[in-house]
């Protein structure tokens, strides 16, 4: 028979510890007296739970703080080096791996260009590159807390990769392979969702409640923030706006639809005129032509911005976010594309209807989604810690 009174006491202790821990993370460095004031818990309870957290090395004492009179209080702070997280962004033609501490500070970063067609090489690169930062983790109480991997495609609410239209990454048993190799929790997410998380935590998203992160690579994906939370939809498939039709009788897409937005507004659309080159050479070709003001390249940029703007206009009218954050290397490098985007939106909408939205360019660069995954891994680790699974 369960001792209800004992169970209730254990639950209260767990809740108190979680409350105190959260306040140290949010307000540190903070004193025990201040924690008692913030939480409403008595000083004995605070002292007991702080001692438990200190023993686990998840917090530490930083020394005396300011005092208005009497003894200076010993301050407490979250130990961001108590553990580490790895975030992996597996794109159609690249892999980016980021190692962060528990506050999201970037420790190491690795990147590799991939063959768009070679799925076996992608699997091998995933295992190899993920191992590089793992080998560089400094000694710490909790070591590697988990690995997060994002992909450009459908990821359901159980975090299974269902379909990746531009490359069959869904054929790689990512979770099983990484669990077998590294023996830590593995989290899978959509690439644009991961980017939205990163923007919310570290970038332009900040305190925004309603924002859309638009990731433009080989394809296009959206990460949607509603009321400050990631919106995934009923099955987890929200944000696949790259596969909305903007030309109903347009070319056939790999997803099975016709005239998809990403056929006109992705990097593939820009590169399609320069297909004699491949991989990184395409970027160099585009950059070289753009930097010397090549008329054909300028026209391509204008068309690129126009088609991005058409899709963003649909998103603005459907979701009505206060901010749209764009992540694309070419757009980030050439402001003329942003001008074309804004011109397209302005020319096709009533000014008063869309006057309050903000269009921003991501400041996190290519690492955005990998950082978002490490943030999600850290969040899961802290949840497990507060539920006393360590």
pLDDT tens per residue, range 165-178: 989 999 999 999 99
Domain range summary for the chain, segments of one domain joined by +? 4-78, 83-194+368-386, 204-363
Q: What pLDDT, on the 0 to 100 scale, is given for residue 278?
A: 45
Contacts of 334 (CB under 8 A, 6+ apart): 290, 301
Q: What pLDDT, on the 0 to 100 scale, is given for residue 207?
A: 75
CATH of domain 4-78: 1.10.10.10
Q: One fold for both 4-78 and 204-363?
A: no
Taking 90 as the threshold, does the pLDDT of residue 89 lie above it? yes
Give 100-110 pLDDT, tens digit per residue.
Answer: 999 999 999 99
204-363 carries CATH number 3.30.420.40: yes
Q: Which band of pLDDT confidence, cut at 50, 70 and 90, is reported for residue 341?
A: very high
Q: 13-17, 34-38, 274-278 — which is least confidently predicted? A: 274-278
Give 285-318 pLDDT, tens digit per residue.
Answer: 888 889 999 998 999 999 999 999 999 999 999 9
- Fold classification of 83-194+368-386 (topology level): Nucleotidyltransferase; domain 5 (3.30.420)
Give 229-261 pLDDT, tens digit per residue.
Answer: 999 999 988 999 999 999 999 999 989 999 999
Contacts of 123 (CB under 8 A, 6+ apart): 172, 177
Q: What pLDDT, on the 0 to 100 scale, is given for residue 168?
A: 92
pTM: 0.92
The fraction of the chain above a pLDDT of 90, given in percent, is 77
Q: What pLDDT, on the 0 to 100 scale, is given for residue 366?
A: 94
Contacts of 130 (CB under 8 A, 6+ apart): 86, 88, 97, 147, 178, 181, 182
Pairing of strands 211-216, 323-327: parallel
Q: What pLDDT, on the 0 to 100 scale, is given for residue 190?
A: 97
Taking 90 as the threshold, does the pLDDT of residue 279 lie above it? no
Residues 302-333: b if buried by 16+ CB within 10 A, e if exposed? bbbbbbbbbbbbebbeebebebbbbbbebbbe
The fraction of the chain above a pLDDT of 70, given in percent, is 92
The DSSP 8-state label assigned to residue 209 in this structure reads S
Are the C-beta atoms of residues 73 and 32 closer than 8 Å to each other? Answer: yes
């Amino acid at each position: 028979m369960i001792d209800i009174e004992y169970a209730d006491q254990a639950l209260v202790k767990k809740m108190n510890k979680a409350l105190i821990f959260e306040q140290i993370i949010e307000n540190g460095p903070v004193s025990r007296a201040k924690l008692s004031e913030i939480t409403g818990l008595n000083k004995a309870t605070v002292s007991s739970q702080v001692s438990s957290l200190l023993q686990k090395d998840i917090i530490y004492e930083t020394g005396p703080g300011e005092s208005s009179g009497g003894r200076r209080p010993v301050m407490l702070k979250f130990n961001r080096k108590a553990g580490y997280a790895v975030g992996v962004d597996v794109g159609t033609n690249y892999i980016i791996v980021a190692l962060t501490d528990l506050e999201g500070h970037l420790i190491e970063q690795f990147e590799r260009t991939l063959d768009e067609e070679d799925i076996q090489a992608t699997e091998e690169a995933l295992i190899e590159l993920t191992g590089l930062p793992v080998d560089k983790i400094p000694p710490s109480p909790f070591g590697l807390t988990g690995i997060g991997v994002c992909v450009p495609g459908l990821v359901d609410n159980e975090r299974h990769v269902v379909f990746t239209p531009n490359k069959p990454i869904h054929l790689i048993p990512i979770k099983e392979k990484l669990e077998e190799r590294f023996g830590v929790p593995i989290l899978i997410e959509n690439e644009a969702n991961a980017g939205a998380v990163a923007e919310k935590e570290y970038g332009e998203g900040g305190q925004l409640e309603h924002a859309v992160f638009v990731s433009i690579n080989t394809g296009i994906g959206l990460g949607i923030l509603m009321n400050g939370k990631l919106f995934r939809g009923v099955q987890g498939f929200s944000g696949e706006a790259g596969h909305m039709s903007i030309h109903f009788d347009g070319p056939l897409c790999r997803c099975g639809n016709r005239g998809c937005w990403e056929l006109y507004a992705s990097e593939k659309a820009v590169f399609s005129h320069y297909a004699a080159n491949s991989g990184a050479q395409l970027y160099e070709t585009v950059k070289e032509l753009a930097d010397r003001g090549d008329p054909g390249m300028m026209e391509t940029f204008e068309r690129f911005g126009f088609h991005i703007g058409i899709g963003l206009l649909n998103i603005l009218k459907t979701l009505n976010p206060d901010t749209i954050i764009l992540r694309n290397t070419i757009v980030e490098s050439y402001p003329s594309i942003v001008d074309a985007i804004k011109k397209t939106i302005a020319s096709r909408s009533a000014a008063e209807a869309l006057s309050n939205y903000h269009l921003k360019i991501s400041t996190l660069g290519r690492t955005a989604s990998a950082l978002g995954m490490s943030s999600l891994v850290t969040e899961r680790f802290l949840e497990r810690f507060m539920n006393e699974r360590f």
